[in-house]
């Protein structure tokens, strides 16, 4: 009986610790997420109304230059994370537009069902409409590649070319028994804020996440770290990230165009794939597979780079981007 009592005591202590940890994440988020987006968004950008949401974007370069749109819709990223690409391309005569797709960055967040690749693709097209852009080169990275490719397939006439950097497309995952449904532990929305505050919306985990996604620790400087964290001060970020986990990241998009193999072979605009040779998040084999799917595409492999080329070695990435852009009609 003494052993059982002792075990019960230890179990109670363990449960109390778990409950305290679970409670600590949303509590810390409550104090950190204390700003309206407009209060802390950089003044280098602006908000536009597209598809019913206030979308934050940053622009640079000549108004009449060929348009290159950088799309941020994945963990740890927002428009400013493209800065080391925005400035050189703008200096080379391109009109650069970097957008924040929710839940990351400073754009307004939709309801819990608004994070899948189809509504995100619709927002990309709506932003092009608002900016009066007929065609653009779309650049997507990591999990943001899903929204980027979805937009390219659904609105091909608006796409001058497509650039995909170490994209996470989950094309090799088996189709689940119930496609389009979130896991049971994400089905109760009030808990989503907890999952968000314990993962991508937690600024205490940002540095560790960046180090996990990069090959060279020196690229995660204090200034870069502060920039990546800046977006996390927006109110309700944890809830939005949790909703994204439930509504996009953790589900199989049953109706998504990027899940249809036939769409890759018939896609006409030029495609550039850029992959870090050391990427173990989305290994090079996935880039090689995409190169086979996109007929006539080009694959550039970056030496010494893992999953975030524009953070790890923007100079090497920009060389590849500018060389590809130079092949396109202006």
Task: Please tell me the predicted confidence (pLDDT) of residue 124.
Answer: 98
Report residue 56: phi and psi, to 5°: -90, 135
- 21 lies in a domain? no
Counted domains in the chain? 1
Distances (CA, A) of 322 to 149, 286, 287, 300: 21, 23, 20, 12
- pLDDT for the residue 16: 46
Strand, coil or helix: what is 68?
strand
pTM for this prediction: 0.90
Residue 19, pLDDT > 50, answer no
Phi, psi of 164 (to 5 degrees): -125, 125
What is the average per-residue pLDDT within 164-179?
A: 79
Q: How far apart are CA 98 and CA 101, in angstroms?
A: 10
Q: Report whether pLDDT(190) > 90.
A: no
Tell me the per-residue pLDDT of 274-305, one tens digit each, with 9 for 90 and over. Answer: 999 999 999 999 999 999 999 999 999 999 99
Residue 19 in any domain: the answer is no
Tens of pLDDT, residues 20-69 = 555 556 656 656 788 999 999 999 999 999 999 999 999 999 999 999 99
Task: Judge whether 35 lies within some domain.
Answer: no
Assigned domain for 33 exists = no
- Looking from the CA of 189 toward its CB, the CA atoms found within 13 Å total 8
Confirm whether 94 is domain-assigned.
yes
Burial class (CB in 10 A: 0-12, 13-18, 19+), 54: middle
Q: Provide the residue range defining the domain that includes 163.
A: 41-170+182-325
pLDDT at 319 over 80: yes
Which helix (H) or strand (E) covers residue 231, if one does? none
**Where does the pLDDT of residue 191 fall: very low under 50, low under 70, confident under 90, or very high at 90 and above?**
confident
Provide the pLDDT for residue 30.
Answer: 59
Q: How far is CA 190 from CA 6, 161, 184, 186, 228, in A?
A: 34, 41, 13, 9, 26
In three-state secondary structure terms, 187 is coil
Say if strands 45-50 and 53-60 run parallel, antiparallel, or are unpaired. antiparallel
pLDDT class of 178 with cuts at 50, 70, 90 = low
CATH number at residue 81: 3.40.50.1820
Burial 250-259 (b: 16+ CB within 10 A, else e): ebbbeebbbb
Q: Is residue 24 part of a domain?
A: no
Q: 131-168 pLDDT, tens per residue?
A: 999 999 999 999 899 999 999 999 999 999 999 999 99
Of 317 and 198, the structure prediction assigns the larger pLDDT to 317
Has residue 53 been placed in a domain?
Answer: yes
Question: Which residue is it, tokens 């505050």?
Answer: 197
Q: Give me the pLDDT at residue 104, please.
A: 92
Query: Rounded to the nearest 5°, which phi and psi values hold at 234?
Result: -75, 140
Among the residue ranges 29-33, 186-190, 201-205, 229-233, the one predicted with the least confidence is: 29-33
What tokens does 139 get?
């650049």
> Does residue 271 carry a pLDDT above 70?
yes
- Residue 128 scores a pLDDT above 80: yes
Residue at 10 is within a domain: no
């Amino acid at each position: 009986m003494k052993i059982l009592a002792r075990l019960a005591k230890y179990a109670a202590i363990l449960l109390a610790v778990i409950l305290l940890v679970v409670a600590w994440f949303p509590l810390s988020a409550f104090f950190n997420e204390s700003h309206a987006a407009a209060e802390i968004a950089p003044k280098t950008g602006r908000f536009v109304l597209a598809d019913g949401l206030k979308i934050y974007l940053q622009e640079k370069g000549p108004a009449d230059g060929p348009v290159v749109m950088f799309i941020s819709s994945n963990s740890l990223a927002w428009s400013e994370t493209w800065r080391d690409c925005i400035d050189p391309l703008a200096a080379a005569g391109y009109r650069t537009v970097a957008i924040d797709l929710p839940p990351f960055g400073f754009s307004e967040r939709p309801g819990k069902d608004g994070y899948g690749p189809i509504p995100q693709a619709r927002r990309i097209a709506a932003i092009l409409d608002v900016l009066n852009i007929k065609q653009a080169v779309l650049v997507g990275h990591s999990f943001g590649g899903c929204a980027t490719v979805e937009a390219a397939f659904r609105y091909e006439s608006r796409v001058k070319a497509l650039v995909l950097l170490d994209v996470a497309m989950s094309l090799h995952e088996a189709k689940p028994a119930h496609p389009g449904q979130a896991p049971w532990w994400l089905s109760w929305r009030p808990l989503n804020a907890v999952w968000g505050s314990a993962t991508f919306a937690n600024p205490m985990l940002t540095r560790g996440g960046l180090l996990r996604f990069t090959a060279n620790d020196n690229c995660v400087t204090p200034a870069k770290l502060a920039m990546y964290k800046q977006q996390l001060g927006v109110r309700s970020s944890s809830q939005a990230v949790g909703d994204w986990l439930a509504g996009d990241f953790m589900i199989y998009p049953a109706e998504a165009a990027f899940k249809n193999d036939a769409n890759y072979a018939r896609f006409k605009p030029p495609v550039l794939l850029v992959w870090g040779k050391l990427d173990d998040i989305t290994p090079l084999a996935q880039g090689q597979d995409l190169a086979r799917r996109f007929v006539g595409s080009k694959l550039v492999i970056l030496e010494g780079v893992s999953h975030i080329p524009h953070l790890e070695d923007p100079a090497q990435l920009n060389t590849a981007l500018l060389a590809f852009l130079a092949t396109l009609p202006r």
